[in-house]
Amino acid sequence: MHELLSIGIELSIGLFALLLLTKVMGRESLSESTPFDFISMIVVGDFVSDAIYDPETHIFKVIFAILFWGMLIYIIDLITLKVHQSRSFFESQPALVINKGQIDRNILKKNRVDMNHLQMLLRDRGIFSFREIEYAVLEPNGKVSVIRKSEYEQTQRKDLNLSTPTLSFPVTLISDGIILKKNLQAVRKTEPWLLDELKKHAIDDPKHIMIAEWRDEDGLFIQKKSSS
């Protein structure tokens, strides 16, 4: 009886410690897990299991380990928020696996994804044929985001005898105040051109931009950072 009571107390304390850790990690960890979140869950789960099943592991040592781990995660989140260059190290990057209807085998190999796995991911999105896809992006959480070809949109234009417009992939030019020079080159634009476009929107400094996105069909989309 005493042993069962001890396990119950340890589980209760562990639960509250994990809830506190979840608050520190933020809402992102409650959605689709990234590789970093997956590692965090494994480590924290090991801490809690040690507290329950290992009589030599004191519960307060485990609480300290969980809270210290949470502090490390919080610090890493701050670093990735403040230092843009660090994101490529701590976070996985999205990969364009289908570009203008063409599957990029090199990108698939780089991300260790074979065709069967890619087809499974697409079927999960309700897409059963590659002919329907214009662009597909492998996200850090392992899922695929897709832009369909115009004629295969849910309201199919070919059924209404409408003309089929061209599609281009949206390219992020500014992210969290940082100009992405490689993306500028990809759309054949220059930094002076971008700064001129910002001035047309009464913006003098790119640091005031949360996101700036270019698409051939409708040009530049800009969203400023909130003043708060």
pLDDT higher for 71 or 53?
71
23 and 83: one domain? yes
pLDDT at 144: 93
pLDDT higher for 221 or 13?
221
Q: Is position 54 within any domain? A: yes
Q: Is position 201 within any domain? A: yes
186 and 132: one domain? no
Q: Is position 166 within any domain? A: no
On the question of pLDDT at 218 being above 50, the answer is yes
- Locus of tokens 């047309």: 200
Radius of gyration of the chain from its Cα atoms, rounded to whole angstroms: 23
16 and 78: one domain? yes
Mean pLDDT of the 69-87 span: 74
Domains: count for the chain: 3
Q: Is position 165 within any domain? A: no
Banded pLDDT at 157 (limits 50, 70, 90): low
Average pLDDT, the chain: 78
- 88-102 pLDDT per residue, tens: 666 667 899 999 888
Q: What is the pTM of this model?
A: 0.57
pLDDT at 86: 66
pLDDT higher for 61 or 147?
147
pLDDT at 145: 92
- Locus of tokens 């999960």: 124
Q: What is the DSSP string of the chain?
A: -HHHHHHHHHHHHHHHHHHHHHHHH-GGGGSSPPHHHHHHHHHHHHHHHHHHH-TTS-HHHHHHHHHHHHHHHHHHHHHHHH-GGGHHHHS---EEEEETTEE-HHHHHHTT--HHHHHHHHHHTT---GGGEEEEEE-TTS-EEEEE-GGGSSS-GGGGT---------EEEEETTEE-HHHHHHTT--HHHHHHHHHHTT---GGGEEEEEEETTTEEEEEEPP--
Q: 145: exposed, middle or buried (C-beta count within 10 Å: 0-12, 13-18, 19+)? A: exposed
